[in-house]
Amino acid sequence: MMFRLQKRKKKKDQQLKDSLTSTNQEDKLSSRILLNEQVLRDSFKNCSDIVFRPIFVNGEANILLIYFDGLCDTKTLDEALLKPMMFEGIAQERGKTQAIGQIIKEKVIADTPIKTVTKMSDLVNGILKANIGILVEGEEKALLVDLKDFEKRAIEEPQIETTIRGPRDGFTENLRTNTTLLRRRIRSTRLKFEAFTVGELTQTDVLIAYVEGIAPQSLLEEVRTRIGRIQIDAVLGSLFIEEFIEDVPFSPVPQIQNTERPDIVSSSLLEGKVAIMVDNTPFTLIVPFTFWSGLQAAEDYYERFIYTTFIRWIRYILFGVSLFLPSLYVALTTYHPKLIPSPLLISIAAARENVPFPAIVEATIMEFMFESLREAGLRLPKPIGPAVSIVGALVIGQAAVQAGIVSTPMVIVVATTGIASFAVPRYNLGTAFRMIRFVFLGLAGIFGLYGIVIGFIGLTIHLVNLRSFGVPFFSPVAPQIPKNLKDVFIRAPRWNFNLRPVFFAGEDKKRIPQKQKPGPSRGEKKP
């Protein structure tokens, strides 16, 4: 008797194994829960956070729930699915249909997004994306219930891109939260989000956002093509996407803008640009990106245009100071001292009398120390980072001057350069030109002013020939588009922005009707 039972059990196990192999080959869900459960257990082997929860409802149905612990809202699951089936049953609906899965989809979880799948791979991918899988005995399909509930950061003001008068909200690591922030600003059906999945292992959700009719079709097709051809095992941030889609990867200058501010993304979309949003990161990519966009701050559009124009010119001057001041100092003191006024030259010569190094070595040492203090301040904990940076700069600078290693004018030049470099609104653009500053410093130390001119010509040629998704990086200055210069060297009044930028806008080019200049009404009586 025992031998017969063992033989039957072996035969049953072999049949189950054969059915399991056949099911895996076809990648279709079986009508038997036991087969599907075995496939899922093999797929999620050694995953201690996976939960298999069987449910038996009044002998009517055998149901299996599969989800990851900590990723799903189990409280809503119990209230919306389990309790209604446990206490009310499902027999009253069986007269209309025999599909229990359809009853669950239409009656039990009416307010929750549900997707029906027939393939095992789709079920596994859905569970990995924090959905709850529901299998029913006798049905060759499964339900994916969207009840995501994982820990996420609250909406906060971005720490890097702060404003005085602008909004205080910023993107988070939750992709759906970020799309909601855009929907609150652009309440139109023309705002579109196209979904992609990138990363073989991470299966990261990537969205491209645009306003239909404003974004040109050629730009959209280019963005879709570049994202679609990415083959990578993992995407852990927006930089993983950025490095695969930029035009010139070896250029020191960034060609794609990144931001944490929803208002910047919204304004860019309304200009005809495209945003690329990546799950698990608060940084959104914006294409195309131009040089002049990198020098524009969010604060420029929340203050009156007169103030903004004045501040923008100060920013441009500080940008030039941060790029050229150390190299000009080295070139003038080393090769062209006659260009310096005599009283100033005497003062500089007296300060440099006991310095053992030439100006180029002195400047390189001080620039290196300044960059080291900046990097150390970023890596240290926030309560002590700024204090260490300031104290370190003061102590090292004073000690270096007293020891005769560097001169006082060089400390002033490097400190002024460092302060001016903070005026660049975009961190990646500022970092790029800090690197280029060392190149100019070397050219000035070798060739003097001629080296600076050669470097400037080479940099200008590179920037003029650079493109971002087909848009010239130096536009609208080169090539010059007079209509678009209203937001480059000045910030024109809001009522004067009648048309969208030429290179960005698609079919809908009109932004603001003309003749809206404010003033007293014609029928107003004078006192």
pLDDT band at 260 (very low <50, low <70, confident <90, very high): very high
Do the domain assignments include residue 266? yes
Do the domain assignments include residue 444? yes
Nearest to 226 by CA among 431, 470, 462, 62: 470
Do the domain assignments include residue 413? yes
The answer on 252 and 400 residing in a single domain is: no
Q: What is the mean pLDDT of the chain?
A: 86
pLDDT tens digits, 18-65: 554 444 456 889 888 999 999 999 999 999 999 998 887 766 568 899
Do the domain assignments include residue 228? yes
The answer on 135 and 39 residing in a single domain is: yes
Residue 345 burial (C-beta neighbours within 10 Å; 0-12, 13-18, 19+): middle
pLDDT for 230 beyond 90: yes
CA of 85: how far to CAs of 113, 289, 412, in Å? Answer: 19, 55, 76
The answer on 306 and 271 residing in a single domain is: no
The answer on 278 and 305 residing in a single domain is: no
More confident residue, 324 or 515: 324
pLDDT tens digits, 354-381: 889 999 999 998 899 888 888 877 777 7
Do the domain assignments include residue 490? no
Instruction: Look at residue 96 in the predicted model and tell me its pLDDT.
Output: 44
Do the domain assignments include residue 510? no
The answer on 326 and 456 residing in a single domain is: yes
pTM: 0.86
Instruction: Look at residue 503 in the predicted model and tell me its pLDDT.
Output: 78
pLDDT band at 337 (very low <50, low <70, confident <90, very high): very high
% the chain with pLDDT above 90: 55
Do the domain assignments include residue 525? no
Give residue 229's domain range: 175-289
Do the domain assignments include residue 424? yes
In this prediction, residues 118-137 reach a mean pLDDT of: 90
Instruction: Look at residue 429 in the predicted model and tell me its pLDDT.
Output: 93
Residue that has been written with the tokens 């070798």 in this structure: 446
Residue 170 makes CB contacts below 8 A (sequence gap 6+) with 155, 156, 157, 158, 161, 260, 261, 262, 282
Q: Where is the domain boundary, 241, 256, 289?
A: 289
The answer on 356 and 260 residing in a single domain is: no
The CA distance from 482 to 484, in Å, is 5
Instruction: Look at residue 74 in the predicted model and tell me its pLDDT.
Output: 78
